[in-house]
Amino acid sequence: MKAQVIRRHGPLGADSLDLALRPVPEPGAGEILVRVLACGVCRTDLHVVEGDLPVLPGEGIPGHEVVGEVVKNGPGTRGLYRPGDRVGIAWLYRACGRCAYCRRGDENLCLSPLFTGYHRPGGYAEYAVGDEAFCYPLSSSEDPVLQAPLLCAGIIGYRAFAQSGLKAGQRLGLYGFGASAHLVLKLAKSSGLSVYVATRGGRHREWALEAGADWVGEDAASVPPEPLDGAILFAPAGELVPGIMGALDRGGILLTAGIHLTDIPSLNYQRELFFEKRLRSVTANTRQDGRTWLSLARERGLVPEVTVYPLAEASQALSDLKNDRLMGVAVLRVG
């Protein structure tokens, strides 16, 4: 099979990935083999390639928004899927199911999780393996390119939005506007909220306005015209946190939704934390998050806007993502 293999960790360059031939993987116990149809290109992939996350030993294949068709069941599978079924493989490849966090229903906080495209080879390849119990059933009547971004950008955005607890009539701020933020914008507007966007780059500001934002600032540090009931920080820029906390109304909450964030400067208690303001991180997701989000997206017709690349142009897709050249989510069409 063809696969985009990480050749060098560090700042993205022409030699970061190599399109190589590799054997088709064999599914192990409880796993399924999937022929990849499409794979979303996520900022986490960029963090993996550039070494912002700890570099793991061995060869890596990125990609964790994987849509494909089941080819083969490994030993010990429970028959949840049959060959030909369409499934999604997301970031959470597997949780241990034994630690205290898994037992209480917080598998996103598992002490020994495995992640797709990081601990396990991902979807920048013609075939991938997924854990049967952690895959999502998908409709075979929909375009796989439009399904792929729902599997991470959508799921993590949904979890952040749900954790905010915001209701119709309240004000949500989105800081940084890309794959996840544009899906949260669609979800928030369909839930009756006003949405304020602060982001760098003219293309992203234009995208936010076209997507229905009520206000778009001139840059990522812009102050919204009204106090916010909640905000989600998608940009990996910790220096934005004090300003966002200052823009929150009393009792407001800021959720940081990225897997990587630069250091947060000191906060002024009176200005940025008093009146019961809250700062909370969002870590991965549970399978229930994924199921609830995919059901919501289907019911409300929440469809991502995409820019499609062939598998051979994965490096270009990552470069366009890094340099804010996208108006839409980058997706590799593989199958």
Domain boundaries defined on the chain: 2-151+305-333, 155-281
What fold characterizes domain 2-151+305-333? Quinone Oxidoreductase; Chain A, domain 1 (3.90.180)
| pLDDT above 90: residue 248 | yes
Tell me the pLDDT band of 62, cut-offs 50, 70 and 90.
Answer: very high
Tell me the pLDDT band of 100, cut-offs 50, 70 and 90.
Answer: very high
Q: Is 311 left (phi over 0), alpha (psi -120 to 50) or beta?
A: alpha
What number does CATH give the domain 155-281?
Answer: 3.40.50.720
Q: Residue 308 and residue 39: Cα distance in Å, rounded? A: 10
Q: Supply the pLDDT for residue 135.
A: 98
Which is it for strands 31-40 and 329-333: parallel, antiparallel or unpaired? antiparallel
Q: Residue 15 and residue 311: Cα distance in Å, rounded? A: 16
Tell me the pLDDT band of 24, cut-offs 50, 70 and 90.
Answer: very high
Helix (H) or strand (E) holding 153: helix 153-164
| Per-residue pLDDT tens over the stretch 175-228 | 999 999 999 999 999 999 999 999 988 889 999 999 999 999 999 999 999 999
Please state, for a pLDDT cut of 70, what percent of the chain lies above it: 100
For residues 256-275, give the mean pLDDT. 95
pTM above 0.85, yes or no: yes
For residues 131-148, give the mean pLDDT. 98
Q: Residue 212 and residue 198: Cα distance in Å, rounded? A: 14
| pLDDT above 90: residue 150 | yes
Contacts (Cβ under 8 Å, ≥6 apart) of 160: 180, 184, 232, 255, 257, 282
For residues 259-273, give the mean pLDDT. 95
What residue has token string 């607890």?
165
